Amino acid sequence: MHLTLAPMEGVVDSLMRDMLTHIGGFDLCVTEFIRIVDQLLPSRVYQRICPELENGGRTQAGVPVKIQLLGHEPNWLAENAARAIDLGSHGIDLNFGCPAKTVNKSRGGAVLLQEPETLFQIISQVRKAVPKEKILSAKMRLGFNDTSLAIENAQAIAEAGADLLVIHARTKLDGYKPPAYWDWIARIKRSVDIDIVANGEIWSKQDAVNCQLISNCENLMVGRGALALPNLAQVIKGSQLSMEWEEVRLLLVKYSGYEIFGDKGRYFPNRLKQWLGYLKIQYPQAGQLFSQVRCLKSADEIIAVVKSF
């Protein structure tokens, strides 16, 4: 089984990737998306989103990291994909799944699932720019408003030359509301000759087993579940029991102890609060801690509360 840590915009940054891959169980990470519009972005943009590039494209625990791009212009996506590879990204992932309104309004993410031909053109151009030995993957949902183009979209992605397709088993309209329709992944898998990774509503080992059986996919991507249960990857692989709260509390202290400055210092409070929001799904104590920090805006104040909790 191959487990990928999902790209979660605004949540899973390099600090979170470092922490979760040190815990273990993940075989690959995908970055938050880099938005591509009408230019070749400078190297510093990639290095800011993926500082692991300075470590051979791997986290400190040695897990490879793949850069994700989002946009709708095939040629600019191709040029930027080539740059990401040159900088050390372990392949390229293309985002056709983001449901955010601001992203969709600019023809990025899930809105492109209404345009199978555009998907084909994007993948085709990026494939030409990415060496054959580097994996080109895409992430899609089952559709925008419905599933009517699900199979056609997957076929367009496969026929254009992608090596792998991650399927989040919900439409954009579904958002993140349960359930995830894993049976649709199995239907799509039967229609394409490409490796498929299943994603959506995997919060426990039993969820992972059920997803594998219903989707007919061995390999999985997990996101929110890994934030709610930090050692979920190891639990799924059967090497550990679920973390106790005290272990999680020490992780929070460790996360708070990361060196934060510049941009990180500004967004740290919100990211820690977001993480606590996921943790309280599994741990009541996280909810208590969240109530103590939710009105705080200073990183220093929040860190002090976390350390004394």
Residue positions annotated with a catalytic role:
98
| Torsion of Cα atoms, 247 then 250 then 256 then 257, to 10° | -130
Instruction: Give bridge partners of residue 168 from the DSSP assignment.
Output: 141, 199
Residues 6 or more apart in contact with residue 260 via CB below 8 angstroms: 268, 299
* CA–CA dist 90, 81 (Å, integer): 11
Q: Which two tokens stand for residue 149?
A: 């183009």
Q: Residue with structure tokens 């053109």?
A: 121
Cβ contact 81:129 at 8 Å: yes
State the sign of the Cα–Cα–Cα–Cα dihedral 50, 54, 58, 60: negative
What are the C-alpha distances in Å from 280 to residues 233, 240, 298?
A: 18, 20, 22
* CA–CA dist 104, 141 (Å, integer): 13
309 CB-contact burial (10 Å; exposed 0-12 / middle 13-18 / buried 19+): middle
Q: Which DSSP category does 200 fall into?
A: S
